Amino acid sequence: AQTVTQSQPEMSVQEAETVTLSCTYDTSESNYYLFWYKQPPSRQMILVIRQEAYKQQNATENRFSVNFQKAAKSFSLKISDSQLGDTAMYFCAFMKPNSGYALNFGKGTSLLVTP
Amino acid sequence: DVKVTQSSRYLVKRTGEKVFLECVQDMDHENMFWYRQDPGLGLRLIYFSYDVKMKEKGDIPEGYSVSREKKERFSLILESASTNQTSMYLCASSTSRFGLAGANYNEQFFGPGTRLTVL
């Protein structure tokens, strides 16, 4: 089974600053998908950003971008201009196509954005 | 908007009870999932289903079963609840049909969760 490691259980950043959340994964597959999900306090999990492994270009979604290093099996999330509403648990997840499309999640990073 | 609903936000049951957790999605998704979320452990897959009446075990299926009689509904069953099943349970759905999903291809949409306490 694929393993996903998030080495930072908790992080803190000041409003308007930039923060990077790290994620590494272990797989022997060449084709797969990677995701970052966000779970705000007492609210539903939502997708932040997605990366297909066959795409070399790093995905971006407004203030959120990833640094995808396939050879290093690294998939970090950068949040620019952090906002108070970014306070949440962030989960990195791996999906192998044709495996039922289930996700393997990391243990999560709790991000606190302070004024 | 995709909507995934779960029958209860909070549930308290006693050891040995049979517990049903219900999940309904309204976007004609063929894939549905049950995860368990515990602090420090992240989300772990219990069971998933890629079609009506089809089910596959995830990483931690012991003590659980599932039922999918209709495409929109996926039920998680605790046959005999135990205290170590106290947890947050999250349901999710997705589609792998690119024509239906477009940019949401393979994105999982989550319900609000059911926090189950077994006494």
pLDDT interval class at A82 (50, 70, 90): very high
Edge-first strand listing for the sheet containing B19-25: B4-6, B19-25, B73-78, B64-70
Among B90, B106, B110, select the one facing A101 at the smallest CB separation.
B106
Q: For residue range B54-73, what is the model confidence (pLDDT) as tens digits?
A: 999 999 999 999 999 999 99
Contact B45 A102 (CB under 8 A): yes
3-state secondary structure A30-82: CCCEEEEEEECCCCCCEEEEEEECCCCCCCEECCEEEEEECCCCEEEEEECCC
Taking the CA of residue B22 and the nearest CA in chain A, the distance in Å comes to 16
Q: Quick one: average pLDDT of B23-46?
A: 94
Q: Which of A93-107, B37-51, B94-108 has the highest mean pLDDT?
A: B37-51
> Is 60 exceeded by the pLDDT of residue B25?
yes
Determine the pLDDT at residue B95.
Answer: 86
State how far the Cα of B7 lies from the Cα of A103, in Å rounded to an integer. 23
Residue whose entry in the numeric block shows the structure tokens 């069971």: B47
DSSP state of A100: T
Chain B residues contacting A, CB < 8 Å?
31, 33, 35, 40-45, 48, 50, 56, 58-59, 90, 92, 94, 96, 106-108, 110-113
Report which of A76, A62, A73 is spatially closest to residue A109, judged by C-alpha positions: A76
Across the interface, whether the CB atoms of B48 and A104 are under 8 A apart is answered: no
Specify the residue for token string 């797989």: A27
What are A24-42's pLDDT values in tens digits? 999 888 888 999 999 999 8
3-state secondary structure of A84: helix
